[in-house]
Amino acid sequence: MSLEAQYDPDNIFAKIIRGDIPSVKLFETDAVLAFMDVFPQSEGHCLVIHKQATATNLFDVDADVLATLMAAVQKLARAVRDGLSPDGIRIAQFNGAPAGQTVYHLHFHIIPVYEGRALGAHASGGPADAESLEKVAAKIRAAL
Ligand code: AMP
């Protein structure tokens, strides 16, 4: 998918927003949704998306929407920090398939990093089971 790709209203995150497929939610407002990444690279890997913006990547989005999104990223990153006590936190966002993007609805990754534990591969491997995601999500939610 190129940097100029058209937004597909049936992408997997659009389906999550509509409730067509399940997700482990962390918080939701009229504008944003935060939820657990189902192929986590580390314990607590989660995602933030805008619910109305039909942006595939960073280049498509209005600055005011981006500001709302980034405020949510900061809020969630603080909760990950306080709820899970990682040694570091990586914030990531990929634009275009060659850069590693696999879902074409603009999103930010919050990836906790724990010393001595290698990060898993990006968007691969088996999905985490809902029960273990829910346990980690509860710790993050409690810190929001
Ligand atoms: P990217 O490769 O930057 O587009 O990131 C997409 C992310 O979405 C990857 O980290 C995937 O693990 C994650 N992902 C894919 N499908 C789902 C899903 N149904 N629920 C939660 N996360 C997902």
Mean pLDDT of 93-116: 97
Q: What is the per-residue pLDDT for 88?
A: 98
C-alpha to C-alpha distance for 141 and 144, rounded to whole angstroms: 5
- The alpha carbon of 25 and the centre of ligand 1 are apart by a number of angstroms equal to 14
Task: State the chain's mean pLDDT as an integer.
Answer: 96
Residue 68 dihedral angles phi and psi, to the nearest 5°: -65, -45
Confidence of residue 133 (pLDDT cuts 50, 70, 90): very high
32 in a structural domain:
yes
Residues that are catalytic: 107
Q: What is the per-residue pLDDT for 139?
A: 98
4 in a structural domain:
no
- Where residue 89 sits, what CATH number does that domain have? 3.30.428.10
- The alpha carbon of 82 and the centre of ligand 1 are apart by a number of angstroms equal to 23
7 in a structural domain:
no
Half-sphere exposure of 131 (CA within 13 A, CB side): 0
6 in a structural domain:
no
Question: What is the position in ligand 1's atom list of the atom closest to the CA of 41?
Answer: 10
Mean pLDDT of 29-53: 97
31 in a structural domain:
yes
3 in a structural domain:
no
Q: Which of 131, 32, 41, 44 lies closest to 83, judged by CA?
A: 44
Residue 3 buriedness (CB in 10 A; 0-12 / 13-18 / 19+): middle
From 3, 103, 109, mutation site for ligand 1 pocket: most ligand atoms within 8 A of C-beta: 103
- The alpha carbon of 94 and the centre of ligand 1 are apart by a number of angstroms equal to 11
Q: Whose CA is nearest to atom 7 of ligand 1?
A: 123
In order, the DSSP letters of 20-79 are SS---EEEE-SSEEEEE-SS-SSTT-EEEEESS---SSGGGS-HHHHHHHHHHHHHHHHH
Residues whose beta carbon lies within 6 Å of some atom of ligand 1 = 12, 23, 37-39, 94, 100-103, 123
Mean pLDDT of 63-91: 98
Number of domains observed in the structure of the chain? 1
Domain that holds residue 45: 12-143
Structure tokens at 51: 């619910």
